[in-house]
Structure 1
Amino acid sequence: MTPTRRAGQRGLGAALALAAATLLLLGACQTDSRQQVLATDKSQVELRAIQTRAFDTTDRNLTIRNVIASLQDLGFVIDKADEQLGIVSGTKLSGYAMRMTVTVRPRGKTQTAVRASAQYNLVAVSDAEPYQQFFAALSKAMFLTANEVD
């Protein structure tokens, strides 16, 4: 082999090694939704308990309106509200990106269940504080609406 050919093969080998390393690094950075769910530090039952509250009302439309008002009071911009599905989602852009999706559904004959799910920069939120803030605001809104206080 000539010295030029050997140098060309070494250059090709180095380029292949660099390409393989790049692909390996990019693959390591990619996470799928299953990995995000499994990465949470709380069990799913604990997380569901933090994310869900029941309210003594069967008026789904009123509950959805109160969810929208509560999210707006907390600084969220409503991205989507679907009354038929009972889903409201909003984004809060205040130095960070938090997205909260809230589902409203009947629970038994006398209650409505409200479940909130939050993501912070595309990572599921398992900390109780954002959910507590949302449900405190929603509870106040539900109370004021039920008592017809403006």
Structure 2
Amino acid sequence: MLNKNFGTRKLLLAGCIFSVFLTGCQTMKERVLDSSADGQTSVELRAIQSRSFDTADKAKTMRSVIATLQDLGFVVDKADLDLGSVSATKLSGYALRMTVNVRPGATGKTMIVRANAQYNTTAVTDPKPYQDFFVSLQKSMFLTANNVD
């Protein structure tokens, strides 16, 4: 009888452990796909933060990103061409930090630019700052492509 009880307990323990792992996996899935406070999913936010530009020149794109950030009143803190990353801060009554990453697109004929803004330590999910940045960047990219000073 003792041997049968031991086997049942072992099976019950294994079932409990398995259910904990299942619950953990489900929780992780919900966090990844969960929406932010304003109802946006991470996929929707990434769509707001990213744009594709028809150029294969990473260096020109990086220069345009830096010029655009400076035109918008940001001070560039770090820029790394190899990583394709630019970090800048805007200190006009508030602390807005913007990090922009530039990487080649899948075809190699485009550059993907992704901007990530933070107000103090809170991620900016409002589309307006990103739209303003990308409108200015698009103008800068156009002027650069057409050699207009």
TM over 0.5: yes
Instruction: Say what the alpha-carbon RMSD is for the aligned residues.
Output: 1.4
Q: Distance in 1 between matches of 2:59 and 2:94?
A: 30
Q: Distance in 1 between matches of 2:133 and 2:117?
A: 10
Q: Distance in 2 between matches of 1:40 and 1:117?
A: 17
Q: Normalized against structure 2, the TM-score is what?
A: 0.74
Q: Distance in 2 between matches of 1:84 and 1:120?
A: 27
| Amino acid corresponding to residue 57 of structure 1 in structure 2 | T
Residue in 1 aligned with 2:50? 52
| Deviations, residues 52-88 of structure 1 (Å, cap 9, x unaligned) | 0000000000000000000000000000000110000
1:113-132 → structure 2 map (5 Å cutoff):
113-132=112-131
Residue in 2 aligned with 1:64? 62
The DSSP-based 3-state class of the residue aligned with 2:148 is coil
Q: 1:105 to 1:40 in 2, by over 3 A?
A: farther
1:97-116 → structure 2 map (5 Å cutoff):
97-107=95-105, 108-116=107-115
Q: Distance in 1 between matches of 2:36 and 2:47?
A: 18
Q: Distance in 1 between matches of 2:71 and 2:131?
A: 14
Gaps of 5+ in 1: 1-33
Q: Normalized against structure 1, the TM-score is what?
A: 0.74
| Shift >2 Å, 4+ stretches | 37-41
CA contact (8 A) 1:97 1:120 kept: yes
CA-CA distance at 1:40 after TM superposition: 4.2
* Equivalent residue pairs, number: 115
Residue in 2 aligned with 1:91? 89
Residue in 2 aligned with 1:8? none
Q: Distance in 1 between matches of 2:37 and 2:49?
A: 14
Q: Distance in 2 between matches of 1:122 and 1:92?
A: 14
Identity fraction in percent = 63
Q: 1:105 to 1:44 in 2, by over 3 A?
A: same
